[in-house]
Amino acid sequence: MKITSDHFLEHADAALADPDKAQRRDLLGLFMPLARDAAAARYGDFEALRVHLKQVRRHTMEHLEHYLTRFEEEALRNGNQVHFAATPEQLNSTVLSICQDHGARRVAKGKSMVTEETALNDHLQQAGLDVIETDLGEYIIQQAGETPSHIVGPALHKSLAEIRQLFLDRHDLGERPLEQVADIVAEARGILREQFLQAEVGIIGANALVAENGSTMLVTNEGNGDLCANLPPVLIVCTTLERILPRVEDAMALQRLLVRSATGQPQTSYTSFYSGPQRDDDVDGPLETHIILLDNKRTDILASDYSEILDCIRCGACLNHCPIYVGVGGHAYGWVYPGPMGSVLTPLLTSLEQSNDLPNACTSCGRCAEICPANIPLPDLLRDLRQEESQRQLNSPRWRRGLRVHAWFLRHPALYQRLSGWLMPVLAWLGKRRGSLRTLPFAAGWTGTRDFPAPEGGTFMRQYRKRGKVRRRRG
Amino acid sequence: MDNLKPKRKRTRARRDVALMVTCLADLMRPSVGFAAVRLLERAGCRVSVPDRQTCCGQPAYNSGDVNAAVPVAQAVIELFEPYDYVVIPSGSCAGMLCQHYPALFEGEWRERALALAAKTWELTRFLTEVAPLPSPKRRPLDAAVTYHDGCAGLREMEVKQQPRQLLLQQCGVEVKELAQTEVCCGFGGTFCTKMPAISSKMADDKLDNAVASGARLLLGGDLGCLLQLAGRARRRGLELEVRHVAEVLAGTPTGPGIGDPRR
Ligand code: SF4
């Protein structure tokens, strides 16, 4: 997927200017947190579960090689073929060559953010393959030629009317109605059923990899993942290294956290473990299965100060709880992963040069960290990225100078106090009629959208000193 | 922070409290500083305002210029460490001292930062948990009031019920709660000028909720948020008076609200 994160501010302006979409996002920002909170409360000790999973994740990441080796052994024993891909290109070419080995023409895909990251669809389509997304949201945006705006609900930005129109334009409907939501779902189901049956290759992602038995776990609500995994003769699981967990029970702990955090459900419709190809006494299942483990900078991240972002379980809760994500929507972020987790991941997986606005799209309000099921200190990681920007001089020189001058004054209190004692009464005088200033030199960033409240007059320190009460120095 | 709870025998003695005024109160709204002094004295504290205080260094720190923030933090630590308590009329600056200063250092300075953090309090929390205000002899405040929870106060300093409790006790007002009260107002320090359109959208959501609450007076414990909200309310021409909670707790304020014309 082409990255346009360097246009974050323009994207954001455009998003804010569309009141319909903005209103739908506001509703998302209102209801998803309520659903998550209710689900967490019903569970009981959700906090303990978070802490537990965090420990498991940290332990697993510290022993990544061990658990990956174990996973590979077990997965091979189950009859899978296991591939490692260092780069997105390697993943894409591995998938393509598997498809070509089987003379495949049609590929049915379940929802997978990893394949968004590698732009797999483009790669396969350029080679002449038909790729169909089978998750309803993914199907909608594929038809619309768009990209996901949310890691859990990729088409959340589209209204019902837009989706209806899209189907009217794309599908040969004949007599079929499209009035109700159920009609639209039935329409998509009818089309997709055919695709599952015709596809020669199914591609799915994974929410967890279980080292102890070599299986992959997938959580869905639509069941499309299971159809992709079981109907076509060849299955390819595209996933990344850091999905690994030691035991089945760890995957289940993750699932409990994931589902409640993502949608507020106590349980998704389907939670599946895939072990490998059809065995002799199985009635169905794929004949050949591949698991591709993508690195794409994960091992670098693991060795960096940002390793905690690898604990992310892709629940999307930080998006729903982030007022900036809710304000501007996922497309503004300009790549695959939006919101707080995306603002950390995008610079790490692409480059800070291409995405240096993203770590600044944060007020450090801390709401994401408060609810992140993986207990990732997202605002701290974003601040660390801003520090890197500052060190590598990627932020605007004017900002850097301004901050430097400000910090210099802070270290010269006498001068600071003399200057502010003089400046504040001037500003107070300028704003005395209105109580606030509509414009202020060097402060367009503030006064473009807000008045600047006038100061009261003399500074506190000056007034207090006049009353002879300031403590010079103790001792 | 249990060991900070006043010991029995100390409850009568005067507490030696240093007020960190905060740069925004110092520059923009000294009445918040004076209100804090009055409240602390009323709560039986001996209040000092150490000279040479300026700012806690958050602008540089949050913008990623840690090198600039470190000497500022060291100056604050040196200036305030002689006192029994440091009280700050801002959850955000208190959060900076308590949560972020220790992370800036290693070794001896880290110890000193931790020691300072252990005795640093946000004002409303201090006035409920350490040095409770005596019952007032004033008439109750006659106004419909709502309260904005600053994020750092809420999440870093555990400030939530304390200002509400004080408003009820001292002024006899029950806060009309904002819808989505735990969502940020969009100030975010330098964020508000780096991304003004998004920031103002967030302020608008907060202000719409404030108007919908039926309140006329919007209070909060952080001047950053309050300047943001007042500035946006003035630009939109909203009839909403915005003040720091300390002003109201200290007595019926006579001056104009933040950004309001003089009466
Ligand atoms: S960072 Fe946390 S809240 Fe955000 S998607 Fe990942 S696990 Fe969920």
Alpha carbon distances (Å) from B252 to B29, B32, B219, B259: 16, 13, 13, 18
Chain B residues with beta carbon closer than 8 angstroms to that of A465:
51
Pick the residue whose CA is nearest to atom 2 on ligand 1: A372
What is the count of residue pairs from A and B with beta carbons less than 8 Å apart? 229
How many other C-beta atoms are found inside a 10 Å radius of the C-beta of residue A31? Answer: 12
Q: Taking the model in full, what pTM does it have? A: 0.95
pLDDT at B2: 43
* A45-299: CATH architecture: 3-Layer(aba) Sandwich (3.40)
Pocket of ligand 1 (CB under 6 A): A 261, 312-318, 341, 372-374, 376
* Mean per-residue pLDDT, B242-254: 92
- Percent of chain B at pLDDT exceeding 70: 95
CB contact under 8 A, A456 and B62: no
Which residues is A455 bridged to in the sheet? none
CB contact under 8 A, B33 and A460: yes
Ligand 1 mean position, distance from CA B225 (Å): 27
CB contact under 8 A, A360 and B25: no
Residue B3: which pLDDT band, with cuts at 50, 70 and 90?
A: very low
Residue B119: which pLDDT band, with cuts at 50, 70 and 90?
A: very high
Chain A residues with beta carbon closer than 8 angstroms to that of B61:
383
pLDDT at A473: 52
Helix (H) or strand (E) run with residue B58 in it: helix B58-62
Residue B12: which pLDDT band, with cuts at 50, 70 and 90?
A: low
Does B8 have pLDDT greater than 50? no
Q: What is the nearest CA distance from A350 to chain B, expressed in angstroms?
A: 20
- Out of A388, A414, A433, closest to residue B261 by CB: A433
A275/A435 Cα distance (integer angstroms): 69
A331/B157 Cα distance (integer angstroms): 34
ipTM of predicted complex: 0.94
Q: State which residues of chain A have pLDDT below 50.
A: 474-475
Ligand 1 mean position, distance from CA A202 (Å): 27
Q: Where are the domains of chain A?
A: 1-27+316-395, 45-299, 398-474
- Out of A387, A411, A469, closest to residue B71 by CB: A411
Nearest residue to B215 (alpha-carbon basis) of B248, B241, B190, B195: B241
pLDDT at B141: 86
Nearest CA in chain B to A434: B261
Q: Is A361:A323 a contact under the CB 8 Å cutoff?
A: no
